[in-house]
Amino acid sequence: MALCGRRETTNIAFGRTLRGQSAVKHILQSMEDTTHLLRLKLVPVQGVPMLKLTADNWPEIEATQARPDDLIIATYPKAGTTWVSEIVDMIYNSGDAEKCKRDAIHVRLAFIEATFPGLPTGVQQLNAMKPPRLGKTHLPAQLLPQSFWDKKSKIIYVARNAKDSAVSYFHFYKMAKVHPEPGTWPEYLEKFMAGDVAFGSWYDHVKGWWQKTRDHPILYVFYEDMKEDPRREVLKLLRFLEREVSDEVLEKILHYTSFQEMKSNPMANYRTIPDELMDQNVSPFMRKGITGDWKNMFTVAQNEKFDEDYVRKMSGSTLQFRTEL
């Protein structure tokens, strides 16, 4: 079943279509002061640290009603969410790059837990979509709304090694102002290791979703595998989605979802979000997109401490990650 080329999401707040940054800018301009929405402390939801706006809207998120033909992309933050989202949208639109520029990626896929005053929530965006609906989430497996498990909705989970995840998330924390202040890199690294960051522990996240592959239709893919051989991994996605494309379309998908193409695409690089919320002058949303950048941040002492902690927290798990290619 093909995805509708014009997947527009109704902006309930304005009674018109939400397009790019216009609605967000309108909201920000109508507020005399947005500081009360930024750099807020995390709030626990069932023991998991969450952004306050998300925590405040938890009843609606938890009650999300899934459909059997929904497709959800789940990741720990900064693990290739946008990359896989763009690949999936390209697959559903048969490699038509223009259709995939119909709107910003955060509108084309509903971010289930997204909440911002005056704008439709991620749940409202999902509800406004025509099937088959595309969504994404950073929620750990135990917090995914129960209906997705009940309806057996397909899920693609993307996992990235802990060290690169920590570095990428640190830079994201600095530029995405809905997060608390990250502090210095050494301070942030301690928080990451302790799971005191939005969406909680990386270790619990990757292990929790790995365990769910035993009894749910989940394709568990690794960021490092995608970097090593994008063609092979896109073919895995196609098989999981039960779709076929020609060699020509496959080449288009690979080309338009390359890091450099997406970095220059305003419908994929989050340039539609105003600097008041995501200041890409501090750090680009699409920064490097490589494996092994952790070597540029970790000191020898930090790396040794991290490795010791990693062994303890991943003990007993069959998950294996690569930290370099």
Q: Is the bond preceding residue 182 a cis peptide, omega within 30 degrees?
A: no
Of the candidates 114, 141, 139, the one whose C-alpha atom is nearest the C-alpha of residue 125 is 114
Closest CA to 217 of 151, 314, 135: 151
On whether the CB atoms of residues 156 and 257 are closer than 8 A, the answer is no
Q: Are 158 and 87 in contact (CB under 8 A)?
A: no
Measuring CA to CA, which residue among 229, 230, 225, 228 is closest to residue 90?
230
**Which runs of consecutive H residues, i.e. helices, occur in 195-295?**
202-212, 223-228, 230-240, 247-256, 259-263
State whether the Cα torsion 5-92-132-113 is positive or negative: negative
Q: What residue type is 306 in one-letter code?
A: F
Contact 85, 105 (CB under 8 A): yes
From the centroid of its chain, how far is CA 8?
Answer: 20
Measured between alpha carbons, how far is 216 from 214 in angstroms, rounded to an integer? 6
Q: What is the amino acid identity at position 323?
A: T
DSSP H or E segment with residue 166: helix 162-175
* Residue in this structure with the two tokens 């990757």, named with its chain if needed: 206
CB 224 within 8 A of CB 161: yes
For residues 115 and 54, the answer to whether their CB atoms sit within 8 Å is yes
Q: Is 141 exposed, middle or buried (0-12, 13-18, 19+ CB in 10 A)?
A: buried
Phi and psi at residue 305, to the nearest 5°: -65, -40
**Confidence at residue 34, expressed as pLDDT on a 0 to 100 scale:** 65
Spell out the per-residue pLDDT of the chain, length 325, in tens: 233 333 333 333 322 334 444 555 555 555 555 667 899 999 999 999 999 999 999 999 999 999 999 999 999 999 999 999 999 999 999 999 999 999 999 899 999 999 988 889 999 999 999 999 999 999 999 999 999 999 999 999 999 999 999 999 999 999 999 999 999 999 999 999 999 999 999 999 999 999 999 999 999 999 999 999 999 999 999 999 999 999 999 999 999 999 999 999 999 998 888 888 899 999 988 899 999 999 999 999 999 999 999 999 999 999 999 999 9
* DSSP β-ladder status, 48-50 and 43-45: antiparallel
- Verify whether residue 138 is a known catalytic residue: yes
Are residues 128 and 10 in contact, defined by beta-carbon separation less than 8 angstroms?
yes
Written as one letter, the residue type at 2 is A
Residue entry with tokens 């048969």: 94
| pLDDT given for residue 4 in this prediction | 33
One of 26, 36, 138, 179 is an active-site residue; which one? 138
Nearest to 135 by CA among 173, 76, 81: 81
Cα(156)–Cα(86) distance, integer angstroms: 13
Alpha-carbon torsion angle 214, 63, 195, 167, nearest 10: 90
**Residue 163 half-sphere exposure, CB side, CA atoms within 13 Å?**
24
